[in-house]
Amino acid sequence: MLDVAEPRGIGKHFVAPEARRGAGDGARLDELAAALRLGAAEPGVVYLVGAGPGDPGLVTARAARLVATADVILHDLLVARELIALARPDAELYDVGKVGDGRHVAQEDTNDLLVRLAGEGRSVVRLKGGDPMVFGRGGEELGELLAAGVRAEVVAGVTSGTGALASAGIPGTHRGVAQAVAFVTGHGAGDTPDGDRDWKSLATFPGTLVFYMAVKALPDIARELVAHGRPADEPVAIIERGTTDRQRTTRGPLSEIAGIARRAKVRAPALVVVGPVAALADQLDWRGVRPLAGKAVVVTRAGDQAGTLAGRLRGLGAAVLELPAIEIVPTSAPLPDFAGCDLLTVTSPAAAGALWDALRAAGLDARALAAAGTLVAIGPGTADALSKHGIVADLIPKRAVSEGLIEALDELGVAPRRAIIVQAEGGRALLADELGRRGVEVTTAALHRTQSVPLTDEQLATLASADAVLFASGSAAKSVASSLTASGATDLRAALGSARPIAIGPTTATALRDLGLQPAAVSDPHTIDGLIDATVALLS
């Protein structure tokens, strides 16, 4: 039975609200919803929503909107955590997924829970991997809901039979090669291997066969297809974890594929593709030609800031592991008096966010900054962070460091009398010291601070197996070093294993060297673009 009376902890029927959702996600989704005229989840309605094959970028806008507005979400085990993270902070999340060793929530219990929650007037999303109506038991759940008089809506998703094949460079159909494609389950009712299916029809099907949930039954499938007339040398491809960072394709002839899969230790979830199109994987391998294909990269930025960097690295082919080594928290520092300030400097994207949060907490908005003079953003990333709140920087120094601002002031001949510097608590004092030396009255507004997030032994092991680890701040470097030391490491360079450190700029590079870690590369310019370019140059 599914116990719904008591949450089970992270990842087991319930996810603590505070562990979910980054700041700003809601506003961005609301803008998208308005543009596409997407309605929110309605009370008393159950939505059977396709979560796609694994890559969170392949979910529909409708799916994302419903996840972000539902009261309750019942999700499968393999649904992308990035999609689940869109849930409202107060939403209830239940993991009702099934796993191969028999540990699962019974389908009947899931059906009963859907009906009960809708009856309580809750808006409910049943989030299912792939498409709910393609081997997702969506038809069964829909039938139960309609029979109980519950309003329901089906939101189609990208099924792995199309998404994973496309990701692997294998077309389901291809002119002159295959004119049809069939989706076939590797298991029957009750999750037992299908031994009574029409193998003759499948063996003579004039096109591509795509088997779902077929890893365990692969020896039987291959044997029966060959026995009923399918060519023994026909190409077969097995796509594991299609569309994700861990996608892997194993290939071989039909008569040998079961042994090849066993030796390659192929594991579910995986698709088995039978047909001549499987031989096109090398020719059409669009993932493998990207500059970071096959490379594992660790991103240590704070969670809310990591998304853009991780997304762009994935677009270049990298398998990205997000291990936020620090988190940004507000301080109790008061807002400064902007009146009479002729130089307001915001030193980082995190500082920009902290400034905005402090303004809102005080019941103010961007108009409060009108009393200040020249607004400086240290780096284009900081300027972008400000612009999201309608604040436009007057000056962005060519070099995204404090020294760059000093150089810019000298070039412009600007001599401020009173300056405010918005930065992290414990941040560099170079700018304040230099301005003070020039007779400027300086106020430092430390509206936020960074605090370490300890990494687990498992995370540290994964970190050490990566090809590179990216540091966007000295505080992230110190936090990772602290976790390594706490785990018993005495030689930090050796503890990083194959992971080569890459620093976003000279300040971060200095912090790494002070820890005994020589950076393998230092980005120039000292921006996210520069960091990505440095990573590509080092690894490709």
Going by C-alpha positions, the residue among 42, 83, 43 that lies closest to residue 63 is 83
Give the pLDDT score at 304.
56
Q: Could you tell me if 86 and 118 lie in one domain?
A: yes
Whether 90 is covered by a domain: the verdict is yes
Whether 285 is covered by a domain: the verdict is no
Residue 382: both structure tokens together: 């900081």
Give the pLDDT score at 311.
87
Whether 11 is covered by a domain: the verdict is no
Give the pLDDT score at 188.
56
Partners of 72 in beta bridges: 92, 124
Q: Could you tell me if 341 and 357 lie in one domain?
A: yes
| CA distance linking residue 418 with residue 504, whole number of Å | 30
Q: Which range marks the domain in which residue 203 is found?
A: 162-280
Which of 393, 423, 451 marks a domain boundary? Answer: 451
The domain spanning residue 258 has which CATH number?
3.30.950.10
Q: Could you tell me if 89 and 200 lie in one domain?
A: no
Whether 3 is covered by a domain: the verdict is no
Whether 29 is covered by a domain: the verdict is yes
The domain spanning residue 482 has which CATH number?
3.40.50.10090
406-420: per-residue pLDDT in tens? Answer: 888 878 777 889 999
Helix (H, G, I), strand (E, B) or coil at 407: helix
**Among 25, 30, 98, 109, the one annotated catalytic:** 98
Whether 134 is covered by a domain: the verdict is yes
19-42: per-residue pLDDT in tens? Answer: 344 434 555 667 777 777 778 999
Which of 117, 134, 158 marks a domain boundary? Answer: 158
**Average pLDDT for the chain:** 88
- Ranges under pLDDT 50 in the chain: 1-24, 101, 189-194
The domain spanning residue 74 has which CATH number?
3.40.1010.10
Active site residue 529: no
Q: Could you tell me if 363 and 236 lie in one domain?
A: no
> Given the DSSP bridges, would you call strands 500-503 and 521-522 parallel, antiparallel or unpaired?
parallel
Whether 207 is covered by a domain: the verdict is yes
Q: Could you tell me if 433 and 492 lie in one domain?
A: no
Whether 357 is covered by a domain: the verdict is yes
Q: Could you tell me if 459 and 492 lie in one domain?
A: yes
DSSP structural state of residue 455: P
DSSP alpha helix (H) spans, 5-48: 25-36
| CA distance linking residue 509 with residue 501, whole number of Å | 9
Active site residue 384: no
Q: Could you tell me if 125 and 199 lie in one domain?
A: no
Partners of 521 in beta bridges: 502
Burial 71-80 (b: 16+ CB within 10 A, else e): bbbbbbebbb
Q: Could you tell me if 97 and 31 lie in one domain?
A: yes
Which of 409, 432, 451 marks a domain boundary? Answer: 451
The domain total for the chain is 4
Give the pLDDT score at 97.
79
Residue 499: both structure tokens together: 């992971």
Write the DSSP assignment of 220-261 as a string of letters.
Answer: HHHHHHHHTT--TT-EEEEEESTTSTT-EEEEEETTTHHHHH
Q: Could you tell me if 21 and 140 lie in one domain?
A: yes
Q: Could you tell me if 418 and 494 lie in one domain?
A: no
**Among 30, 76, 285, 524, the one annotated catalytic:** 76
Give the pLDDT score at 21.
42
Give the pLDDT score at 13.
35
Give the pLDDT score at 308.
79
Q: Could you tell me if 63 and 116 lie in one domain?
A: yes
Q: Which residues lie below 8 Å from residue 364, measured CB to CB, with a gap of 6+? A: 335
Give the pLDDT score at 17.
35
Q: Could you tell me if 445 and 343 lie in one domain?
A: yes
